[in-house]
Amino acid sequence: MTFSRCPSDHNAISQGPPARAAAALGPAGTLSARARTRPGPGPEDLAGVHGMQAYNENEDQQSPMRQRLRRELRWTALPAVRGAVVLALLTLVCYRLGLSFAVTAFVYLIAIVLNCLDSSFAAAVLVSVLASAGLDFYFTEPRSSFRILSSADVVALTSFTLTSLVITRLASRARFEARGAMRERQNIERLYRVAQRILTLPPAGSIDSTFLVPFRLVFGLRAVCLFDPSSAASYEVGESRAGLRERTQRAYILRKDEDDPANATSCRSLRVAGKVIGVIGFEGLQEAHVVAGPLAALAAAGLERIAAFRAATTAAAQVEADSLRTAILDALAHEFKTPLSTILTAIDGLREVGPLKSAQMELAEIVDSETSRLASLTSRLLRLARLDRDELQPRMGPVDCGSLAAGIVERYAGLWPARAFNLANRAEGSEVLADEELLRLALSQLVDNACKYSPAGSEVRIGIESRNGEVSFTVWNGGPPIAPGEQSRIFERFYRGAETRHRAAGTGLGLYVARKIAVAHGGNLDLGTAAPNADGTVFRLTVPLSKEENAIATTKLQSPGSG
């Protein structure tokens, strides 16, 4: 017995599932990948598997024709011979005792019923015909002849023959249904054992051959193979003699279930929500038309369990990584604050020591300015890290939107002299009920991004509008727009697009925290649409108006002279 996994080559893995499956097969249906041994199950399972393997090998040595002949001999020939011998003995005894036709017919009928309990219908019919012939030859006049003189004897003999045939048919049908019910119960018990073993397997984040062991152990299969299209890999237990691995991969490529009674192989697609997630193949499965489907359903459920465990493990690892990253950012920000404060204090001390030359004064001003800028960035980074880690609890108060935006524009105009800032306030005097510090941080993050990701000499536009009971801040910058494939992820924690990583430094927390602030105020932050025939990126931050401002705006809209 072998436990093998056969991944396809790198080119096949880089393609889609059907292409990978096709690449895993060679020209003649052979695998182009190398098989390598994988760790198997425990010693107890291996002992059971080896025992079944020896049994299956003995069974395999007999051809299907020989097995069919043995079954026919068991269920037809032997019962027919046995029934004939019993009838001969009963005929001898009844003839010697001089029993009448009626008594002998009753004795024959009992013998026929008992004989058909473990024989085929053909054997039972043959015994019934022999019994009718014996009654005619030995117990009807003229005896020792098949001629019948009395019409009553004809009716009696015909009635006996029909009765024996009907009883034989009913007994054969009852026996067939009883055996079918027994096989069905056995199959249900086996399916239950397979499901139980699959559910008790140790949680794993990947598929391996151990997953197939319960199928082979419980149903005594010669081989079981699973094809995983996500990795274009085949997993097999047992020794297949009919190319089960190739058949399984071919069934996935053709998207078609396959049964081959001559080789005792069956392949079934594994479907979840209408999507094929793999194919499982069985070799040596009895009653495949009945059992293969439920076994495939159990395999699909097991694969979904593995996928769910893998997703949960990945999510937990991502949460831990994000928490660690946030803690590192917090620690770094704290560590930067102290030396920056020391540098600023030293610059002030230099100015107080004595008069400096003009060149020295200019250098001191540059150091002071850049240190202040770095201190501001560090404070903002520290604030972002804390907001990412903690639950936001805004301290609400009236905030004038125009004054807030004007202060931010003035500050960034000094920090980014190579940008042209344009503030368009179409909501003069509008106030919102918000946490001024948090709202300033969110809007500053948008303006900071607009400055970082726009070319030198370009324009940065900030707009304020009041509509439908809310104030919206729009920030536009020129330059290449965000790629469509990244637009749905830019608000995720620590996410940075492929282009932005090379254009400017960042942590990937800014937009995430800015949206978190907007949502905490009952608003939102989303990616807007640039003007037609214009490049660039637009972000739109909305905050609800305060109740007083909302009432005033509603009154203006309802007044007769309002446009």
Average pLDDT value for the chain: 77
391-403: average pLDDT:
82
User: What percent of the chain clears pLDDT 70, i.e. is strictly above it?
Assistant: 73
pLDDT of 357 over the 80 cut: no
Alpha-carbon dihedral of residues 319, 323, 329, 334, nearest 10 degrees?
A: 170
Cα gap 175→170, rounded to integer Å: 8
Cα gap 222→55, rounded to integer Å: 10
Cα gap 31→7, rounded to integer Å: 9
DSSP three-state, residue 243:
coil
pLDDT digits (tens, 9 = 90+) for 420-438: 999 998 887 778 888 888 8
pLDDT of 549 over the 60 cut: no
pLDDT of 138 over the 60 cut: yes
Residue 458 amino acid letter = S
pLDDT of 300 over the 60 cut: yes
52-73: average pLDDT:
52
Peptide linkage before 203 cis (omega within 30 of 0): no
pLDDT of 53 over the 70 cut: no
Largest CA distance in the chain: 154
292: its two tokens: 């293969």
Class of domain 3-61+188-311: alpha beta
Nearest CA to 279 among 225, 238, 236, 331? 225
Cα gap 113→119, rounded to integer Å: 10
Residue 383 amino acid letter = R
pLDDT of 24 over the 70 cut: no
Q: Where in the chain is the domain with CATH 1.10.287?
A: 318-387
Instruction: Say what the pLDDT of residue 68 is.
Output: 60
Q: Where in the chain is the domain with CATH 3.30.450.40?
A: 3-61+188-311
Alpha-carbon dihedral of residues 457, 482, 324, 309, nearest 10 degrees?
A: -170
421: its two tokens: 């800032």
Instruction: Say what the pLDDT of residue 52 is.
Output: 45
Residue 213: partners with Cβ closer than 8 Å, 6 or more residues away: 40, 41, 45, 49, 197, 237
Nearest CA to 251 among 276, 269, 270, 235? 269
pLDDT of 296 over the 70 cut: yes
Instruction: Say what the pLDDT of residue 473 is.
Output: 93
Judged by average pLDDT, the poorest of 219-228, 249-258, 420-429 is 420-429
Higher pLDDT, 283 or 529: 283
Instruction: Say what the pLDDT of residue 21 is.
Output: 41
Instruction: Say what the pLDDT of residue 386 is.
Output: 61
Task: Using the Cα atoms of residue 141, residue 142, residue 147 and residue 150 in order, give the sign of their dihedral.
Answer: negative
9-37: average pLDDT:
40
pLDDT digits (tens, 9 = 90+) for 362-395: 787 888 777 776 776 676 666 666 665 556 677 8
Domain 393-558, what fold? Heat Shock Protein 90 (3.30.565)
Instruction: Say what the pLDDT of residue 535 is.
Output: 77
Instruction: Say what the pLDDT of residue 137 is.
Output: 85
Nearest CA to 543 among 441, 438, 435, 432? 432
Q: Where in the chain is the domain with CATH 3.30.565.10?
A: 393-558
102-114: average pLDDT:
85
- Which of the four pLDDT bands, split at 50, 70 and 90, describes residue 176? confident
44-56: average pLDDT:
43
Judged by average pLDDT, the poorest of 23-27, 217-221, 337-341 is 23-27
Higher pLDDT, 298 or 336: 298
DSSP single-letter state for residue 346? H
Judged by average pLDDT, the poorest of 67-81, 105-119, 323-337 is 323-337
Instruction: Say what the pLDDT of residue 316 is.
Output: 76
Cα gap 117→172, rounded to integer Å: 7
Higher pLDDT, 232 or 546: 232
Domain 318-387, what fold? Helix Hairpins (1.10.287)
pLDDT digits (tens, 9 = 90+) for 447-500: 988 888 888 888 999 999 988 888 999 999 988 888 887 887 888 876 777 666
197-221: average pLDDT:
85
Instruction: Say what the pLDDT of residue 351 is.
Output: 74
pLDDT of 25 over the 50 cut: no
